[in-house]
Structures are given as structure tokens and as C-alpha cells.
Amino acid sequence: MKHQASLRVIALLTCGSLFCADALEAASNLVSEASASAASPRAKTGTVALAQPTAGKSTTRKTPAPRSVSRKTARSKSSSARRIASRRRAAQVAKKNNAVKTSPKKSVAKKTYSSRYRSSASTSKYARSSGRKRSRKYYSRNSRRYKSSRYASSRKTSRRADPVPMAKAFVPFSETWHETLRDEELMPGVRYKHYIISTGSKHSIHVLEVDRTKPEVAVAMWKAQNLSNGLESLPAIAQRADSGKSGVLQGMVNANFWRSYYNTALGPAVVNGEVVEMGQYKGWSSCFFDRQNRMYIERFSISATLRTRETSFPVETVNARINPNGVVLYNRYAGKEIPVAPTLPIENIEQGTIGAKTSKTKNDAASTLPTDEKPSPSQIQKSLDIQQRMAAAERPLYKATLLYASQPMINEEVSCRVVEVDTGAVAVPQNGVVISFGRNIDESELPRPGDKVTLMFKTNTYSSVPFVHAVSGTPRLVRSGYAKHEAGQEGTTGRNFITQKLPRTAIGTNSSGTTLYFVTTDPTDSEAGTTGMTLQELAEGMRQIGAYNAVNLDGGASASMVVRGDVNAAIGSTRPVALALGIVQQDPTADRNNAPKRKLITKPSAKPGSKSEQQRQSTPRQDAMNVSGTEQSLNMEEFKPEERR
């Protein structure tokens, strides 16, 4: 304290406040008081009289006495300093991060971490500065990868949906590289074109371009040998079509894939409104044609129902029975009579098809199957045994013979008249069907001769559109302008089928649906410098010529096309196929929308209590025996097949 008093005196002298004796006296008093205060350290305050140099008066002011510093005060000061320092550090870190994020010169990618943080103590630096409960210390890369795979099944993770593929900008065919080898008009609205196009390599393709809006143009279909398990070469089918009454043939291509060894079509097949096959195969696509030749491409399946006066029966299969129960429908493509005996000889098992040995070239049947699965000879033998047992079980079942009263059509009710109910072998009418009732159906529920029943074939989609023809294929090649095959989505797994450069067959339509494209590609020709096509190349080629939607049909050794007119050529292989799809020229005055009117033969009404009324309570076999042979013969000849168009 002495030193403090001395300093104060020196400061006052320096400022010029002490110039008289009074000031010196006051300074001595200050020194004495300072020594007294040093003797008593607990004194809190003291008074100092300062003399004014002019008036000689003294004033007093309070000065704080020094305090002793305790441990508690020192601890509070140190904690406060630490808080301030930590806040300053946090502010500096935040300022630095903001400067890096907002820097226009250099963009820093945001670092992503695992969704699980590592727990940290609440007293860590980051927790104290930011107030967060978890730190920014993450697991290492390998640890994050291990934990994410370990807890992937237990955590509920939200996955973004796959983006919908956008269609590429369409380039008109005139602006793409191609070479036109031939361009011929077969009839008004139908042109045959032969191109060389490029999808990275050159390909030779044949195109039937059809304007479906022309009144004389019609889409037609033909079943090989008019049998559900028939096979026939495309030129033979074309020769049979030339002699038919469906119209003047202009061109055709092969259609459905077919089962090896059994020779039945895969997927839905409809010819002139009559169903040959109605079940969908895997997830394959199908093409259905309405009365105006408009084509619809979807994954169709068909269901059928038979309605009588008392009840309705779901139809399980068409043209084949797979178990002794249920209702089966047989039409003229099943054969001449029911039951149908298996026709595949055992010696043709190794051969693979009836009457036609599979070739051993690059385009053989094995390389063009959509799946790598093939039945073994033991499986084929087992299937034949099952068919023989089903044929034996079919013979004692009740069968009703029905005649069409209206044109058969998909998604429309078809009126029919029952002309016979019998067991054993029953003839299949050319203008009607045979309905076989399984063991689980009671005899009292069966229809009687003379009853009117309805058949209804319905699709799973576009169920309000009446369809006349249908083919099936795989995979879809072009969807809404996007050229990308959908083999994986449809369950097609054959590697050779997808990736080998093979001859192909496809059909498509433009964006407005007014133009149809029937396309066949040539196999690899080293002399001409062209190759076959993979599925993706075929999709790109269909998009180039203008197809907005397209699907692949049976190809490889089955890829073929027949062109009439001035061209009059058979293109591709002559291997037997199951179905043919083509274009015919018909009479433009013919009304395709209305079915021909036909007269139904009805039985005369019986008086009450008569013998005829009592016979209604008898069995179906007795009812069939009561129908006169003349009436049955008239009914069987009532509706000619060629009248249906």
C-alpha cells in the first residue's frame, strides 16, 4: 500500500495539482493513512481529502479497498474463460465451414457417411460447443461397410424407385443411314420394302408396311393343318390361303412360338374369334387385333365361362384335358372327334418335331428357344402316358355338342344351341364346339338338347374391346417409343436367344396405331456384309423404321415371310411353324362388324302333361336319343365356317 500511495502522490505532482504547502501536508496525511490501512488489512474503505489549489477546500470520495481472492472465485473465473474460449473456437470453425461452402471458386462435394453415428460422451468438445448429443466421429470405411451389410435386413430402409426410362429423341427413318433395295406396292395400303439398316452393324430386313385404315385391308390368321398341334411350312400355309375364301393373300409371317415335341402354340392364340390356346405363358406379351385391325400389345390372358339356364361353369382349358374334373371346350382345331388320342410317336422324341428333323446350323431350334429348359425323353414319355390316361378318362364323360348362333368373338357373348348330349366318341362340328363335363359335375346340372347357352371368352385387360385374332411372343421390344427389350421382365432367360445374331420376326405399330409393320430379318451373310440381329438390335431396328410399340415373334429357323403380288417370293426358312399372321385383300363392301344372321332350329312347344314334357325329366343321354336324326343333321350344317367373315 505504501507503494500505491507514493505512486498517487507522484501522479498528482506530475499533473500540477500540488503547488502549495497544503498539498504537501495532504500528501503526508495520505502516507500516514496508508501505513495505518496496511496495519489493518480488513478495512474496506478510506477517505482522502484533496485540497483545491484556488479555494483551499477539501472534498472526499470513496475508493474500493482491496479484496482477497478465494478458491471459489478463481474456479468460476477459469470456467467462464473456458466457456468463452470454446465459444470462440466453435464460432471460428463455423465461420470457416461457411466460407468453404459459399466459396464460388471451388465447389466442395458434400461428404456422405453411414447412417449410424458412434456414441460419444456428453462432455466432448463437439458436444459442449454445438450442444449435440452425437459427435461427428464416424466409423471407418470397412467398418461402415460391414455394419451396413450386417444390419441391412433388420433396418427399414427407404429405397428410391427406379426412374422410368425416357424415350430417346426419335430420328426419322429418312435421316438415318439405310439403303433401300426394293420398294413395291402390293395393293393400296400395303407395301413391301427391303432395307439395309445399321445398328452398329449392317442388317438386311424385309418389311410389310400396312395402312390398316384402308377398307379393303384386313388382318388374317391361319393355324397350321387346322389343328392345335399341327405344324406346317409357311409356303404351304400360303398356298392353302390362296385357295380359301378369306380374301386375296398379300403377305404373311410366322407367328407364335411352339412347344417342342408337343407342337402346341405357346401363349394365347385366337383365329377368327375361335380360341386355340387361352393361357398366358410366363409373363409373355401378346398382340390382339380388333375388328378394325387395330393392334393391342399387352400381357394378355383369357378366361372362359359357359352359362346355362340353371348355372354357369368356368372353362378350365381349351382343346386339351389335364385332369378328369372340370369343364373343357373343344373346337374344330382339336380334331375330328373327342376324345383325341395322342398322336406323337415315341420314335419322334429324339427328332423333336413331327416329320421335320431339326437342323444343326447356327439358326437351329435349340438356339432360338426363349428358355434354356428342355424336356428330357423321360419327361416326354411321362407326358404321353398322362395324355393317354386323360383320353381314356374322357370317353365315359358327358359331352354337349353346341352350334354357334352368332359369330365367335373375344369379349362378347356367343349364343349357342345344344343339339346333343352324349358319352363316348363325339364328332366336333366345324361350326360349333363340344363341351366336356368332368366327373365332379352332377348330371342334373347338365344342359339338355334344345337349350340355349352362351359362351364368354374374356381378356384380363381391354375387356370391353371385341377381339378377332391374337398371337403371342416374347419379349416386348419397343414400349411407347423406348427401344429396350423386356426379356428379363417376361421370364425369358435363354442366353443364346437374347444375344446371338439370328434371323428374327417381329410385328409393331406406329404411335397413332394406323400403320402395322410385319418384319423378318435375314441371317448372317458374310458375302453381303450383313449379320443377324440380337434382341436389342432388333428393338433398335424396329424403332428406326417407325414402330412405337413392337414385340418379337418366333425366329431363328422359323423366321420366314411370304410376299405375293409382283414380288411373289418366299423369304427365309421353310421350317414348319404353328401359326401364320398375314394381310389379305377383301371386298370393301363387306361389313366386318356385323355377324351373318342365321336361322335357329327350335323344337315345337309341347302341351302340358304330354310325353314330350315328361321326357324333360330324363337323363341327357335319353334326351339326345329323342332328338331326331334329321334335326341333328340340319343343325350340324346350319352355320358354314366361311360365312363367319
pLDDT tens per residue, range 496-532: 999 999 999 999 999 999 999 999 999 999 999 999 9
Q: Are residues 503 and 553 in the same domain?
A: yes
Residue 349 has pLDDT above 70, yes or no: no
**Locus of grid cell 363392301:** 589
Question: Which of the pair, 48 or 619, is modelled with greater confidence?
Answer: 619
Question: Which of the pair, 323 or 518, is modelled with greater confidence?
Answer: 518
Residue 277 has pLDDT above 50, yes or no: yes
pLDDT at residue 67, as a whole number: 52
Instruction: Report whether 550 contacts 515 (CB < 8 A).
Output: no
Q: Are residues 225 and 319 in the same domain?
A: no
Cell of 620: 341327357
Identify whether 202 is part of a domain. Answer: yes
pLDDT at residue 503, as a whole number: 96
Q: Are residues 445 and 331 in the same domain?
A: yes
Residue 8 has pLDDT above 50, yes or no: yes
Identify whether 108 is part of a domain. Answer: no
Identify whether 378 is part of a domain. Answer: no
d(CA 109, CA 432) in angstroms, rounded, equals 73
Q: Are residues 273 and 237 in the same domain?
A: yes
Nearest to 559 by CA among 579, 539, 549, 574: 574
d(CA 224, CA 265) in angstroms, rounded, equals 10
d(CA 236, CA 565) in angstroms, rounded, equals 17
Tell me the residue range of the domain where 48 lies: 2-64
pLDDT at residue 542, as a whole number: 96
Residue 473 has pLDDT above 80, yes or no: yes
The residue among 418, 441, 459 that closes a domain is 459
Q: Are residues 426 and 533 in the same domain?
A: no
**Locus of grid cell 374334373:** 325
d(CA 542, CA 522) in angstroms, rounded, equals 14
Identify whether 376 is part of a domain. Answer: no
pLDDT at residue 634, as a whole number: 34
pLDDT at residue 43, as a whole number: 42
pLDDT at residue 352, as a whole number: 41
Residue 289 has pLDDT above 80, yes or no: yes
pLDDT at residue 588, as a whole number: 74
pLDDT at residue 454, as a whole number: 96
At 243-257, the pLDDT tens digits run 888 889 999 999 999
Nearest to 258 by CA among 590, 615, 525, 575: 575
pLDDT at residue 636, as a whole number: 39
Strand partners, 124: none
Q: Are residues 447 and 541 in the same domain?
A: no
Strand partners, 569: 563
Identify whether 452 is part of a domain. Answer: yes
d(CA 501, CA 533) in angstroms, rounded, equals 4
The mean pLDDT of 131-138, rounded to a whole number, is 50
At 86-111, the pLDDT tens digits run 888 888 888 777 765 554 544 444 44
The mean pLDDT of 14-32, rounded to a whole number, is 52
Cis peptide before 620 (omega within 30 of 0): no
Strand partners, 523: none
Q: How many domains are there within the chain? A: 3
Identify whether 611 is part of a domain. Answer: no
Q: Are β-strands 312-318 and 327-330 bridged in parallel, bridged antiparallel, or unpaired? A: parallel
Nearest to 404 by CA among 309, 331, 470, 333: 331
Task: Determine the straight-line distance between the first and last CA of the chain, rounded to whole angstroms.
Answer: 130
pLDDT at residue 258, as a whole number: 92
The mean pLDDT of 311-319, rounded to a whole number, is 95
Q: Are residues 318 and 269 in the same domain?
A: no
Which range is least confidently modeled, 278-287, 333-342, 457-466, 472-481?
A: 333-342
**Locus of grid cell 404321353:** 384
The residue among 459, 480, 504 that closes a domain is 459
pLDDT at residue 206, as a whole number: 97
Residue 385 has pLDDT above 70, yes or no: yes
Strand partners, 312: 307
Residue 574 has pLDDT above 80, yes or no: yes
283: three-class secondary structure by DSSP: coil
Q: Are residues 255 and 197 in the same domain?
A: yes
Question: Which of the pair, 315 or 645, is modelled with greater confidence?
Answer: 315
Q: Are residues 425 and 310 in the same domain?
A: yes
d(CA 144, CA 151) in angstroms, rounded, equals 10
At 607-616, the pLDDT tens digits run 334 333 444 4
Residue 27 has pLDDT above 70, yes or no: no
Residue-averaged pLDDT of the chain: 76
Question: Which of the pair, 372 or 508, is modelled with greater confidence?
Answer: 508
Identify whether 368 is part of a domain. Answer: no
Compute CA distances 317 → 26, 42, 320, 325, 457, whole Å.
130, 115, 6, 11, 12
Identify whether 116 is part of a domain. Answer: no
**279-314 in b/e burial notation, b at 16+ Cβ within 10 A?**
ebbeebbbbbbbbebbbbbbbbbbebebebeeeebe
At 153-211, the pLDDT tens digits run 444 444 444 444 455 566 788 778 899 999 999 999 999 999 999 999 999 999 999 99
d(CA 272, CA 306) in angstroms, rounded, equals 20
User: What is the separation of C-alpha 597 from the centre of its chain, rounded to a whole number of angstroms?
Assistant: 42
**Strands (E) located in 255-301:** 269-271, 274-277, 285-290, 295-298
Q: Are residues 325 and 269 in the same domain?
A: no
The residue among 561, 585, 609 that closes a domain is 585
Q: Are residues 214 and 317 in the same domain?
A: no
Q: Are residues 451 and 497 in the same domain?
A: no
